[in-house]
Every structure is written in structure tokens, then in C-alpha cells.
Amino acid sequence: MNRLLTPRVARSSFGVMPDGSEVECITLRDADGLEARIMTYGASLQTLLVPDAAGRRDDIVLGHDTFDRYLARRQYFGATVGRYANRIAGARFALDGAVVQLAANNGANALHGGPEGFDRYNWRIVTIEEGARPAVTLARTSPDGEEGYPGTLEAEVTWRLTGPMELSLEMTARTDRPTVVNLTNHSFFNLAGARSGRDILDHRLTVAADHFLGVDAGAIPLPEPPCPVAGTPFDFRAGADVGARIRDDHPQLRTGRGYDHNFCLAPASGESRFAARLADPKSGRVMELHTNQPGLQVYSGNFLDGGMPGKGGRLYRQSDAICLEPHAWPDTPNRPDFPTARLSPGEIYHHKTLYRFATA
């Protein structure tokens, strides 16, 4: 068994932005061995150390050992994504009768906030809290018109160790003009370890969703209503290995080169509820995800191409990690039939996600 560790908070330098500003990392550690390292660049989860069934800790999120690698190639490793996570068709939508033109960066579509989304900025540290529930809060101001989005948006992200083997993420935002907001965290998880050299196809995944969104070749939701998961490779309600049906001849698996789809969770509410469970049979690590968001994007690392060394010099390749991204449904600003992503002055956008770890 791993001996108890002293809870602590540490602050260190990790690199320098092109404008000369310092990039910092804040490390949060609990007494049971859970340790999260938060990077100010992109308000990112840079490291997440979790004990396995034998008490051995390993880092379970993909990323890089040095800051220059994050700058060299945009891969969203652990990053806060916004203003709008996922895609908006045609990089445009109508809001209160006016057409909003965004910056396109995924063919004709806008993806993850545009060419310079929230993941590309060095966030400022607001507070660092020590004690039994250590936390760090980061913030940035997104000016009116950034990447085409209306309204000045004040966003904050708080990472906190909320209990034994629990990491919480809370995101809030306020605007001075009507706009759309959809934030998420884009961590790539491999419960075997980011340096293990193993893929995630034998990870067992459970998703609390009866429907998913079919997509076209541009990964934009089809005009039809959400598709039932029953009788398809997208049925993870009772749990299934990620790789068990990933090569089935299903049109949506062909379109996405695997899983890269929004699963429709229970309607959004103020409180978090169970959304997904991921388990690695060899290490024994188990992660449960709870959220108050209406959707969960499941992405099986289909486009990891080994183009740049990751942690420990590993070349990350297809299915070396899985992303579980809670957020609003893609293209919601163009789909009045989807749960809204609108934010008006006087309202507060509030995203809550809880990662709970155990061993089995």
C-alpha cells in the first residue's frame, strides 16, 4: 500500500510565452496520493498522478514534459477549451436576428473556439487555496469580438481536490452582451499511464446515455433527431471495452474513424450526476465522471498520429488515449431543437465536472 502523503500545494515555473510572460504550474496533492498539476497555459491539467491497485502512482493524462512542445503543436492536451467547445457549422450562427461570423479553423467550421481559442492563452492566477481541499482558480477576459464571438466574457476555472481521490472542475462565465458559451476540459486519459505504451482499447467504458448524435463528414450533427444507442456499437450503458466494436462496419464509425461523437446525457441541471465510468483491467484504476452538462463527447484518439514525442518520449498514436468531454451539444447555436448554449447579461454560466478515482 502507498503510505499517506502530506497534502500540499506547490507553485513552480514551467516555461515562457512568446510575449515573455511566465507559464506556471500549481500542484495539488491529497493524502491518498492523488496529485494534479495545473498549468496556467490553457488552464490545463498537465499531470494527474493516480495510484493503481498496488499503490503505485502514475500519470494518466497525455501531454508533454516541456512547455515548448505545447507551443509547437496544438493538440489540446488537458486544456480548457472555449469559447465554444466542439464544432459550429459553417463558422456562423444567428443570434437575436443578427448573423455572427466566426473564425473557421476546421474546414468551413469553427472548432474549439477558433484558431486562437482559450487553450492558447496564459491564464492569470486568481487564488491558490491550501488546506484539506487545496485548489487553484484561474481566469481570463475574452474581449468582445474575439474569434468573432460577441460580448466581453469573464471566465474562471477552479481545480480542486474535493475529497479522497476526487478532483473537481468548476467553470463560470459572465458576459456583457448576449453570446454563446460552451467550455470543457480536453484531457486525454490512459489509465495504464501516459508513458505505458499501451492503448485504451481494453479499457471498459460505461456511458449513461440512451442516444448519441450522428454526424456528417465534417463532424457536424445530422439534421435528424439523436440516434438510439440500442443495437449499435455506441451502446455503453451496461459497459463494454472501448475496442470491442470500434472496428464494426457501422457508418458512424467510418465517418469518425472510431468514436468521436456526442452522447446525450440527462438534461442539464445545477447538480452533477453520473455520466461515465472508465476502468483499466491491468492497473485496476477506475475513473468515474459526474457532470451537470447535457452532453459527453467521447473521442477515442482517432487522429493521434505519432507526429511529436509526448511524455517520456512516447509517440502517441491512434487509440493511445480517450477523451471524455462534458459540454453542450455541438452546433447548438444553429439547432434550436438542442439544449441552449446562450448566455445573457446578468446570467452565470456554470459548468461542473467531478473525477472520482478508485481501484478494482
CATH code for the domain in which residue 90 is found: 2.70.98.10
Transcribe 271-313 into DSSP letters.
S-EEEEEEE-TTT-EEEEEEES-SEEEEE--TT-EEEEE-GGG
Alpha carbon distance, N-terminus to C-terminus of the chain: 14
Question: Tell me, what's the pLDDT at 1?
Answer: 42
In a domain, 293, yes or no: no
Per-residue model confidence as pLDDT tens digits over 313-329 = 999 999 999 999 999 99
In a domain, 183, yes or no: yes
Separation of alpha carbons 299 and 274, rounded Å:
18
Which grid coordinates are listed for 7? 497534502
User: What secondary structure letter does DSSP report for 281?
Assistant: T
SS3 labels along 40-64: CECCEEEEEEEECCCCCEEECECCC
Separation of alpha carbons 138 and 169, rounded Å:
11
In a domain, 225, yes or no: no
**Phi, psi for residue 48 in degrees, rounded to 5:** -140, 105
In a domain, 294, yes or no: no
Q: How many other C-beta atoms lie within 10 A of the C-beta of residue 142?
A: 23
Separation of alpha carbons 296 and 266, rounded Å:
10
Q: Which residue has the cell 450526476?
A: 273
In a domain, 38, yes or no: yes
Is 112 an active-site residue? no
Is 130 an active-site residue? no
In a domain, 236, yes or no: no
Query: Which residue segment(s) compose the domain that 46 sits in?
Result: 8-199+299-352
Q: What is the pLDDT along the chain (360 residues), one digit of tens a residue?
A: 445 566 689 999 999 999 999 999 999 999 999 999 999 999 999 999 999 999 999 999 999 999 999 999 999 999 999 999 999 999 999 999 999 999 999 999 999 999 999 999 999 999 999 998 999 999 999 999 999 999 999 999 999 999 899 999 999 999 999 999 999 999 999 999 999 999 999 999 999 999 999 999 999 999 999 999 999 999 999 999 999 999 999 999 999 999 999 999 988 778 899 999 999 999 999 999 999 999 999 999 999 999 989 999 999 999 999 999 999 999 999 999 999 999 999 999 999 999 999 999
Judged by DSSP in three states, 177 sits in: coil
In a domain, 227, yes or no: no
C-alpha Rg value of the chain to the nearest Å = 19
Asked whether the beta carbons of 11 and 24 are under 8 A apart, the reply is yes
In a domain, 274, yes or no: no
Question: Which listed residue (24, 35, 170, 325) is catalytic?
Answer: 325
Question: Which listed residue (64, 186, 327, 351) is catalytic?
Answer: 186
Question: Tell me, what's the pLDDT at 267?
Answer: 85
**Phi, psi for residue 286 in degrees, rounded to 5:** -130, 135
Number of domains in the chain: 1
Listed residue (346, 360, 349, 196) closest to 288, CA to CA: 360
State which H helix or E strand residue 211 sits in.
strand 211-212
